Structure 1
């Protein structure tokens, strides 16, 4: 097709591109197309199926005729189920008016930033952080203020770092616990220490992404439960994607003060309107149905975590911390930087190392630079134990060939 006019991106979209996670997945797909047996550990998606009763809940809703436009804020039944779930698992009791249902947790975050952030406003982000956070902030023409949280601090933000990062332009503190990509978890004491700092700065709001709440190997504490007096400044983000293996259903929610939720509903109303009625019915079935699968699947992830951490720590040049939650490890690979490949190429960065492991070891990993803290890589262990064993062996063999 011939274009009749020159295409021009908007300024706000000029820097947006496919995430490095997607780019690596596509590179792995290209190698597979050549007949190579590539293992991809780059995506954060449970390998478990959506539970049968959840699928049945969706089918029954469709048969009942629940296929018309849903309320923009979410159906009353969905918001009631979310409120019940918060009481049961998170230790606080929100009013349904404090809840918005969106097309995935990612849209909740986008709604919040679009509804509250002006150009030049600052958002504090502990690094490493999930890649999409940075792009959302950039799209809103806000300023990302990354705060490096090293492995020596278990990848967690300290109160001193938070205090130093806050300015008059700070609009939000972005927390993710358990965290992607590090699996880091904030204890109740950690959250209360951060809350002590925030109480001194009433212009700063807190968004806590708790999407991995049920994939935890240490006690989980919601920020709103740890600091209930800050509820009028707190947005909790959650959903069914990770815990109930419902990534494709695209259903997430936010819990926050009603003035914020109303502003987010207004934004959502002019983009997607309400989340899929069928997905909401499925999510209700997930939240109201049997919950034993949460512990069963978490135990399976724990077994995989323990295997991967042990395997990688036995590889010279790698040092892998034990994550407290989620299904990622974020090993330090600085011991491999500066080494030379069998072809004579020097490994100068984590990106070089991941490219080498992909091409020579046929394992796709995501370099730490994508998450704002280079010198590491992310490996998702949301895969079968057989694939993890094969993949870790390939990584070890590839790194053993470095000089």
Structure 2
């Protein structure tokens, strides 16, 4: 049994224990002294964009939405029963989600933690289903997809993403579409389970006030029968992209237009964590609520509190999408483009402005440390080589205005912009 490694972050008084088990599973135990709630997160390195990959050198292609479909089906046990009911009996709240690059199963509880953890590890370690059951699930997922088609905010966001990444899996709904879902078979699900739901492709994060040695032994005992597979799975490292679509729109039953403006650029830093922070700082300074542009547009009635900035930074993709309700979508799109290309950067990207923004983000970071469920997700999202989410504060505060200006110049030199508008009918 491999030894646990302890890391203590003195400045924020956080400690974490980590190990790679004999079967390849990555384990992180975040000890939260004095907390009653405990949570577990099992994250699989398999998301919606992973429908094409190489298995032992041979290209495998599957319908869009297969990762999300598999997430749904794993909640069904050998008898066809929903395992959620077993968690409820233990007093635990369980759920799962699929993102672009991973699938995560998680639960939180005040009692019966080891029993719930054993259940989590059990139901994610095997796949059994029938064609009849899969066909039934298709109807459920199709209802979910159709529901999102009636959501104007989602349609604006997805439309913008489709403009940025035309004819790629990134421009697809994470759940796929009705046509792709119909093509998925039991064999497809089993093949993808076997490829990705293996210990060396998983990371288990436990958050709470544990006896670290006891919970480590517990996980080891339940992982002992699972061995590392010898097949080689290689994901597509770069998505094939066509030239972006500069703008698009549709009409829906909305009272006010929905605007989404999307940006993507070339990678600036080798560190995904640092790149993420630079992107957040730049766009918050230019378009966040403290920005003079935001304040002017708000006072003029061009925008309201609906403005949202979403960041996605990965070694395989990186984009920013700003969404808002506005009575002047064409004008606002033009203004945002002008800010990106001709704003008074010297005035906006000062040491003083940067310092205020860093302190705001650092405050959010500190608050997140006391949210058990949020902490587990953030920890998984910010794993970056030898750094963890607990390094984020120090990384953030080390960024200088010169580095941010260099990043801006790099971003502008490689940037593409698109927009998508949902107009009222």
Q: What TM-score do the two structures reach when normalised by structure 1?
A: 0.22
The structure with more radius of gyration: 2
Q: What TM-score do the two structures reach when normalised by structure 2?
A: 0.21
